[in-house]
């Protein structure tokens, strides 16, 4: 099992008082699943994503990633896990503005300790995969929104992580570009990647095979996506 | 992560923000430049002093006639003192322990003539031992020897300045020069000596290159004294075999001379080595002060780096978050920022070294202060700047590393 979450709770302390955000979640995600996590703002979906991505740790409960209890890991081990197991794709792309496309994609490989030549090769391959072979030396400011998100996806793919974790990946894009990005996710899923999508838009969630609704820090519903087939046939 | 990446990143950062990097470096640049300049001025003064006292001989005690006014001179003579004499010199050689050699010298300021040229010079009557007592070297010909002395031969050795004025590249050896009413044959020329620009005790500042040396026996026999009451000789140079015994020997010499001069205070004793040590001590305090001022400017430079780096970390919170999210460990972030501040301080240090060297040259060129840059002073200033970079870069880097990834990735 790729991800197993048991009775996970998270609260933030604000002065004296504790503000609970996630009230105990149980969740299983298998390899090569395509899951959308949905919910209104304040439902705790961003917090859940941070925990799933090892950017943050839970207050209590357990999060097993590849059968390793993440809550027991120290900061260095969490960094290593982010590097090896997780590819982030953010709404606002989060590319480094001073680096060009290929350098941005190389970034996780640098921290993985991949030597220069191999690094370049793998970054090239990842950019090729997202269809940006002709934009290698452009800086983010010289790219369109869709192209920037493709660079970010290439960066997430570079280390061949177990999970692609996408946080509102089409939120900053127009609908046409958004559809293109979602097609790309679909292809990546078919190639064997596990994708977890965080979104508040039903349209986007419809691309996934499984929809999980969060409400007030709890799982409200968790079911296979019924609309998917219709959508794909269009 | 490879360290080469950090260095590449840091240099890239410097180039990306040229003006800001330069401003950040200014403190270090001035700090390093001032450390190097100040050390070079201190070292220059030290070398000048050593050269000066080496000319006088570090194992020598110099007994010099005091310059007295005519009335004082009459008073002293009335109290039976005959002033410095060859007999004083002989007594010192006989009695004082540890004395190797004694050289007497008589002096007279007069004009030396050759052809239609004349030079105001100090004519000095010396014994053949003189050359080995002082650190003088003969450049052309040879020096006055026993034969010249014993036979009172009419020969002379010229200082470099006198020789240059008279002969301008011609060979002076064998030529005749006229001193007072005497014709003397030039047998040698001394190598040029650094100017004696300061008065040391009774040793008045003068241009040593304008001296003319003649045998003392000839001097006493053929030249009239400046004044009927003048002493027989003006200076006795005593060489001691051990510099530790200089003070003890000088005390004994003082006792002897007091007795011979009937307690008249008409001579003074100069110990060049002691003066050198004393001067060095004074200079040490001065150098320490200069160094402290320079060190403070380096410190201020370091604080400047820290200030900018702290601001940089704030400004780059998002970048830190992104790096953390793709797998950078705390130590990677830390390394990146420390490397950046070290890169700033090393670059600043290198520029500072260049400016410091140039400043020292400018000081030497446009003032009469001698400077000397020791390689070790460059090394010290440079390594100090690296230490400043590491220590003042540490805190901002630690702040950067300790940012929570989850907060910094969403930082706007």
Check whether residue B81 and residue B162 sit in a common domain. yes
Q: What is the pLDDT of residues B278-329, one digit of tens each?
A: 888 888 888 888 888 888 888 888 888 888 888 888 888 999 999 999 999 9
> What's the Cα-to-Cα distance from B206 to each of B125, B139, B181, B195, B279, rounded to whole Å?
17, 21, 25, 7, 20
Question: Would you say residue B2 has pLDDT above 70?
Answer: no
Check whether residue B357 and residue B387 sit in a common domain. yes
Contact of B137 with B55, CB cutoff 8 Å: no
- The number of beta carbons lying within 10 Å of the beta carbon of residue B284 is 12
Cross-chain residue pair A75–B329, CB shorter than 8 Å: yes
Cross-chain residue pair A84–B327, CB shorter than 8 Å: yes
Contact of B361 with B367, CB cutoff 8 Å: no
Check whether residue B155 and residue B230 sit in a common domain. yes
Instruction: Name the percent of chain A lying above pLDDT 70.
Output: 97
- Mean pLDDT along residues B61-82: 86
Predicted local distance difference test score (pLDDT) of residue B168? 84
Which structural domain range is residue B219 located in?
Answer: 67-265
Check whether residue B325 and residue B293 sit in a common domain. yes
Q: What is the pLDDT of residues A10-42, one digit of tens each?
A: 998 888 888 889 999 999 999 999 999 999 888
Minimal-distance CA residue of chain A relative to B333: A111
Check whether residue B324 and residue B183 sit in a common domain. no
Question: Would you say residue B57 has pLDDT above 60?
Answer: yes
Question: Would you say residue B204 has pLDDT above 90?
Answer: no
Predicted local distance difference test score (pLDDT) of residue B14? 82
Question: Would you say residue A122 has pLDDT above 90?
Answer: yes
B154 domain residue, yes or no: yes
B108 domain residue, yes or no: yes
Check whether residue B203 and residue B243 sit in a common domain. yes
Cross-chain residue pair A79–B327, CB shorter than 8 Å: yes
Predicted local distance difference test score (pLDDT) of residue B129? 86
B310 domain residue, yes or no: yes
Contact of B291 with B35, CB cutoff 8 Å: yes
Whole-angstrom distance, CA of residue B310 vs CA of residue B230:
77
A-chain residues near B404 (CB < 8 A): 56
Predicted local distance difference test score (pLDDT) of residue B361? 93
- The distance of B349 to chain A (nearest Cα, Å) reads 27
Check whether residue B145 and residue B261 sit in a common domain. yes
B275 domain residue, yes or no: no
Predicted local distance difference test score (pLDDT) of residue B13? 79
- Mean pLDDT along residues A104-131: 94
* Sheet with strand A210-215: strands edge to edge: A86-89, A163-167, A194-199, A34-38, A210-215, A218-224
Question: Would you say residue A228 has pLDDT above 80?
Answer: no
Q: What is the pLDDT of residues A144-188, one digit of tens each?
A: 999 999 999 999 999 999 899 999 999 889 989 999 999 999 999
Whole-angstrom distance, CA of residue B93 vs CA of residue B11:
71
Question: Would you say residue B209 has pLDDT above 70?
Answer: yes
Check whether residue B231 and residue B297 sit in a common domain. no
Average pLDDT, whole number, for chain B? 87
Question: Would you say residue B1 has pLDDT above 60?
Answer: no
Residues 71-100 of A with CB under 8 A from B: 75-76, 79-80, 82-84, 88, 90, 94-96, 98
For the domain made up of A3-233, the CATH class stated in words is alpha beta
A-chain residues near B405 (CB < 8 A): 55-56, 82
Cross-chain residue pair A94–B325, CB shorter than 8 Å: yes
At A21, list the tokens. 């955000």
- Mean pLDDT along residues B124-129: 90
> In this prediction, does ipTM exceed 0.90?
yes
Check whether residue B128 and residue B205 sit in a common domain. yes
User: B403 in helix, strand or coil?
Assistant: coil
Check whether residue B206 and residue B120 sit in a common domain. yes
Q: Which of A78-87, B222-231, B386-395 has the lowest mean pLDDT?
A: B222-231
At B19, list the tokens. 């003006």
CB half-sphere exposure, A12, CA atoms < 13 A: 8
Closest CB to A111 among B16, B326, B406:
B326
Q: Which residue has the higher pLDDT, B14 or B238?
A: B238
Predicted local distance difference test score (pLDDT) of residue A232? 60
Predicted local distance difference test score (pLDDT) of residue B18? 86
Residue ranges of chain B whose CB lies within 8 Å of a chain A CB: 1-2, 5, 12, 16, 318-319, 321-332, 404-406, 409
Mutation target for A interface from B322, B323, B325: give the one with most A CBs within 10 A: B325
Tell me which of B237, B265, B293 is where a domain ends.
B265
B-chain residues near A90 (CB < 8 A): 409
User: A210 in helix, strand or coil?
Assistant: strand
B-chain residues near A50 (CB < 8 A): 406
Cross-chain residue pair A111–B319, CB shorter than 8 Å: no
Q: Which of A72-76, A226-230, B223-227, B344-348 has the lowest mean pLDDT?
A: A226-230
A-chain residues near B3 (CB < 8 A): none
Closest CB to B327 among A50, A80, A96:
A80
At A162, list the tokens. 């177990």
Predicted local distance difference test score (pLDDT) of residue A229? 54
Q: In this complex, is the C-beta atom of A103 within 8 Å of any C-beta atom belonging to chain B?
A: no
Chain pair A-B, CB pairs under 8 angstroms: 65
Minimal-distance CA residue of chain B relative to A87: B326
A-chain residues near B5 (CB < 8 A): 110
Identify the band that residue A130 occupies on the pLDDT scale cut at 50, 70 and 90.
Answer: very high
- Mean pLDDT along residues A106-135: 93
Q: What is the pLDDT of residues B149-180, one digit of tens each?
A: 999 999 999 998 898 889 887 889 999 999 98
């Amino acid at each position: 099992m790729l991800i197993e979450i048991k009775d996970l709770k998270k609260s933030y302390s604000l002065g004296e008082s504790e503000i609970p955000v996630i009230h105990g979640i149980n969740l299983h995600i298998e390899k090569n699943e395509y899951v959308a996590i949905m919910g209104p703002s304040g439902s705790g979906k961003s917090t859940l994503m941070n925990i799933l991505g090892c950017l943050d740790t839970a207050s209590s409960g357990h999060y097993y990633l590849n059968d390793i209890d993440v809550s027991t890991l120290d900061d260095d081990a969490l960094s290593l896990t982010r590097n090896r197991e997780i590819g982030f794709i953010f709404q606002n792309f989060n590319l480094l503005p001073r680096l060009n496309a290929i350098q941005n994609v190389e970034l996780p490989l640098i921290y993985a300790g991949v030597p220069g030549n191999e690094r370049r090769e793998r970054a090239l391959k990842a950019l090729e995969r997202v269809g940006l072979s002709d934009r290698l030396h452009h800086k983010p400011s010289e790219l369109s929104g869709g192209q920037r998100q493709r660079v970010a996806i290439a960066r997430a793919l570079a280390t061949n992580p177990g999970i692609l974790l996408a946080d509102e990946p089409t939120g900053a894009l127009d609908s046409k570009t958004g559809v293109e990005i979602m097609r790309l996710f679909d292809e990546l899923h078919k190639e064997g990647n596990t994708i977890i999508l965080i979104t508040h838009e039903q349209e986007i969630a419809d691309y996934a095979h499984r929809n999980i609704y969060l409400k007030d820090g709890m799982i409200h519903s968790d079911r296979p996506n019924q609309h998917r087939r219709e959508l794909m046939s269009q | 992560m490879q360290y080469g990446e950090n260095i590449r990143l840091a240099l890239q950062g410097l180039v990306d923000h040229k003006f800001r990097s330069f401003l950040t470096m200014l403190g270090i640049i001035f700090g390093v430049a001032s450390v190097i300049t100040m050390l070079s001025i201190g070292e220059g003064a030290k070398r000048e002093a050593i050269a000066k006292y080496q000319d006088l001989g570090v194992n020598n005690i110099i007994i010099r006639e005091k310059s007295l006014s005519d009335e004082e001179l009459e008073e002293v003579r009335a109290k039976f003192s005959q002033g410095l004499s060859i007999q004083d010199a002989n007594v010192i050689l006989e009695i004082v322990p540890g004395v190797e050699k004694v050289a007497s010298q008589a002096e007279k300021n007069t004009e030396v003539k050759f052809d239609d040229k004349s030079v105001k010079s100090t004519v000095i009557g010396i014994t053949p031992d003189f050359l080995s007592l002082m650190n003088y070297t003969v450049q052309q010909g040879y020096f006055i020897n026993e034969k010249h002395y014993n036979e009172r031969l009419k020969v002379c050795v010229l200082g470099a300045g006198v020789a240059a004025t008279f002969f301008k590249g011609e060979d002076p050896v064998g030529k005749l020069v006229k001193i007072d009413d005497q014709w003397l044959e030039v047998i040698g020329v001394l190598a040029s000596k650094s100017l004696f620009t300061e008065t040391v005790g009774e040793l008045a500042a003068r241009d040593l290159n304008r001296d003319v040396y003649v045998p003392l026996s000839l001097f006493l026999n053929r030249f009239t004294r400046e004044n009927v009451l003048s002493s027989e000789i003006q200076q006795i140079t005593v060489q001691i075999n051990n510099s530790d015994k200089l003070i003890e020997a000088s005390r004994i010499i003082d006792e002897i001379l007091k007795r011979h001069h009937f307690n008249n205070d008409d001579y003074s004793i100069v110990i060049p080595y002691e003066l050198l040590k004393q001067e060095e001590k004074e200079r040490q305090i001065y150098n320490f002060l200069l160094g402290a001022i320079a060190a403070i400017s380096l410190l201020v430079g370091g604080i400047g780096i820290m200030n900018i780096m702290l601001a940089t970390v704030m400004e780059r919170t998002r970048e830190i978050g992104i790096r953390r999210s793709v797998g950078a460990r705390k130590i990677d972030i830390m390394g990146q920022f420390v490397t950046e501040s070290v890169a700033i301080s090393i670059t600043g240090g290198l520029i500072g070294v260049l400016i410091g060297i140039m400043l020292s040259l400018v000081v030497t060129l446009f003032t009469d202060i001698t400077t000397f840059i020791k390689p070790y002073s460059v090394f010290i200033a440079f390594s100090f700047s690296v230490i400043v970079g590491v220590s003042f870069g540490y805190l901002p880097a630690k702040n950067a590393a300790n940012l929570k990834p989850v907060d910094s990735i969403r930082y706007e």
